[in-house]
Amino acid sequence: MTYPFYLGKYSRPISTSKPKAQTWFDRGLAWVYGFNHEEAAICFRRAVEIDPTCAIAHWGIALASGPFYNLPWCFLSENEAENMVLNCYPAVQQALKLSDNTTPVEKALIYALSQRYPSNQVVSTEEFSKWDDAYADAMRAVHSDFPEDLDVIALFAEAMMTRTPWKLWDIDRGEPITGADTTETLAVLNYGFDLVMKRGYAPHPGMLHMYIHALEMSPTPERALKAADQLFDLCPDVGHLQHMPAHIYVICGQYEDAIRVSKKAITVDEQYVEYAGPYNFYTTNICHDLHMMMYASMFAGQFEPALQAAQALRKTLSHDLLAVERPHMAATLEGYHSTIIMSWCVLVSGKILDPLQ
């Protein structure tokens, strides 16, 4: 069966003699950069099925099956953390065993990721944080050795950001939070963008995605407007990457642009749900895209699109989905189950005119 998603042209040549393994690896990496880690893991596993000796494909399984900026260790239940380490540890250990036949940068990436999963045992939240610190430190060394590798730049940036997820900036003071790697993250990404410009490289989806997250809570989010413009349609069927420019557009008052990219994100999200179903963590991103459409439409005074998005969100959040036994996912979905916002959309759109109602 033909894979139903077009993920863009980005490719990272890997150590394999099997073209189909390369194809599935590239798909996995695109989904990783688009924060659909479940689909990414499926793609990396397909690569391993085609070429079991491909070390970097095993690395991909460990990367995609583990924590990331939107789902760090501290958001997981004990059962979720156990499942994560039981998937990640053997995958990265297998990658290490096969790494003698890889390129130097692949070997370095594999070793670095092994520092994130030093054991197949669940540990305390504090100990998991040390694992993240060790991974970020190891990726710093990889970046030192391969400073012009764009994937290394993107992966290093996310490794630093995931140490302090959603705590990069002190919003009141307009400064990076003490202990966060915000300043270094921005320096690494900006160096990467300089490389892209000087050498005529294609825009890199992972770098652009991380840059938006790194600046969205800063006092100068407009610095990411160019990144937002470049990211849209770079990976056409990766809904989260189609959505991400809206983070910056809506903060900068470009509501029409936020609506435009949200429409595209919602369209490709619908295709993904038809393919994979709703019972996966990526559904939180889908709900977020609908919520962004509501938010941007309200600020733009376009209440019909806001109402339509609210209705779609309510339809998406079925009783069975809200009952999912994943605490952080359930809490996130419940937060989107906002009948107050939807009622407000109905009120201001003129559907209810009598204030007594």
Q: What is 278-289 written as a DSSP string?
A: S-STHHHHHHHH
What are the CA-CA distances from residue 67 to residues 70, 92, 293 (Å)? 8, 14, 27
Which tokens is 250 given? 């809506």
pLDDT reported for residue 314: 80
Mean residue pLDDT across the chain: 91
The band of 327, judged by pLDDT with boundaries at 50, 70 and 90, is low
pLDDT reported for residue 346: 56
The band of 352, judged by pLDDT with boundaries at 50, 70 and 90, is very low
What are the CA-CA distances from residue 322 to residues 13, 171, 305 (Å)? 40, 31, 24
Question: Whole-prediction pTM value?
Answer: 0.92
pLDDT reported for residue 353: 38
| Whether residue 343 has pLDDT greater than 70 | no
Q: What is the share, in percent, of the chain residues with pLDDT greater than 90?
A: 75
Question: Could you tell me the sign of the dihedral formed by the alpha carbons of 90, 96, 102, 104, in that order?
Answer: positive
pLDDT reported for residue 349: 55
Q: What is 51-102 written as a DSSP string?
A: -TT-HHHHHHHHHHTS-BTTB-GGG--HHHHHHHHHHHHHHHHHHHHHGGGS
The band of 326, judged by pLDDT with boundaries at 50, 70 and 90, is low
- State pLDDT tens for residues 73-107: 988 888 889 999 999 999 999 999 999 999 999 99
- State pLDDT tens for residues 150-200: 999 999 999 999 999 999 999 999 999 999 999 999 999 999 999 999 999
The closest alpha carbon to 128, from 62, 67, 65, 177, belongs to 67
DSSP state, residue 222: G
Radius of gyration, alpha carbons of the chain: 20
Q: What is 141-186 written as a DSSP string?
A: HHHHH-TT-HHHHHHHHHHHHHHSTT-SEETTTTEEPTT--HHHHH
Average pLDDT over residues 45-59: 99
Q: How far apart are the C-alpha atoms of 251 and 194, rounded to whole Å?
A: 25
- State pLDDT tens for residues 211-235: 999 999 999 999 999 999 999 999 9
Average pLDDT over residues 28-47: 98
pLDDT reported for residue 331: 62
